[in-house]
Amino acid sequence: MEAMCGRFAVTTDPAKLAEKIKAIDEATGSPDRRAAPNYNVAPTTAIATVVRRHDEPDDEPTRRVRLMRWGLIPPWVKAGPDGAPDSKGPLLINARADKVTTSPAFRAAAKSRRCLVPMDGFYEWHVSRDSGKRARKTPYYVYREDGEPLFMAGLWSVWKPEKDGAPLLTCAIITTEAVGELAEIHDRMPLVVPERDWDHWLDPDTPPDPQLLARPPDVRGIRMRRVSTLVNNVANNGPELIEPVEAQPEQATLL
């Protein structure tokens, strides 16, 4: 199966998110800002992320909400004739937790440019094959039972078409082995970061915690439900995408 988290939903406005988590709002007013909500966030979309950065070299880093394009572009990628990144490889929307510190594409970002990607929930597809028929993909929506956002581990990078060019901020979501009943749907899932680990994960002055990258994510209170295949088309975007297509009692608790 593909090691991928490729769609998610987010309904919290970046300004409200910044207020909620006591962060500086650097997203409002950005030309790339998309008005919330977005029930079908796809790769290359500008998304809200959370980082910790310094104002001065020796001050305490502070949380900031920043917009970044989903799909990490390493800084060494060259610019094409049109000034856009000349990347012929796959779009780096995900990074495996067990390879972020060694992969050439991610290891520089893993040292000091780690982020959180907040979302209401994410989608995964269960692939089944009937004898003699095409593979069928059934979408599921994974979310917190209490309605609070999930915060996923991510990496970010700064790319410039030239030394003095305008910077492009891009990011990738870190995935790990799926646990609980979600493992029956897909073999990978985004790496959930609990609130107690946010600041340590975001600390730009320390390397990533190997234990956080290696340990199974805590999925208590996380649920999943089957949803409509409307989510398969990125042109569809509305609350109906996350509505269950089966009776409420048939929802599954991960742990």
The 10 Å Cβ neighbour count of residue 205 is: 8
- For residue range 66-111, what is the model confidence (pLDDT) as tens digits? 999 999 999 998 888 888 888 777 889 999 999 999 999 999 999 9
pLDDT in tens, 13-66: 999 999 999 999 999 877 766 667 999 999 999 999 999 999 988 899 999 999
Q: Which CATH superfamily is domain 8-241 in?
A: SOS response associated peptidase-like (3.90.1680.10)
Mean pLDDT, all residues of the chain = 90
Residue 4 has pLDDT above 80, yes or no: no
CB burial readout 127-159, b (16+ within 10 A) else e: eeeeeeeeeeeebbbbbbeeeebbbbbbbbbeb
- Is the Cα torsion angle 106, 111, 112, 118 positive or negative in sign? positive
Question: Annotated catalytic residue: which of 115, 124, 162, 243?
Answer: 124
Tell me, yes or no, if 124 is annotated catalytic: yes
Residue with tokens 């999943």: 224
- The residue extents of the domains of the chain are 8-241
Say if CB 27 and CB 15 are below 8 A apart. yes
Choose, from 2, 5, 181, 195, the residue flagged as catalytic.
5
pLDDT at residue 1 in the model: 36
Question: Is it the case that residue 150 has pLDDT exceeding 70?
Answer: yes
Nearest CA-CA partner of 97 in 207, 205, 176: 176
Residue 143's φ and ψ, nearest 5 degrees, are -155, 170
Tell me the C-alpha distance between 126 and 138, whole Å.
Answer: 5
Rounded to whole angstroms, the Cα distance separating 51 from 153 reads: 11
DSSP string of 48-89, one letter each residue: EEEEEE-SSTTSPPEEEEEEEEESB--TTPPB-TTSSB---S
Instruction: Find the length of the chain.
Output: 255
Check if 148 is active-site.
Answer: no
Q: Which of 149, 87, 77, 138 is nearest to 109 (CA)?
A: 77
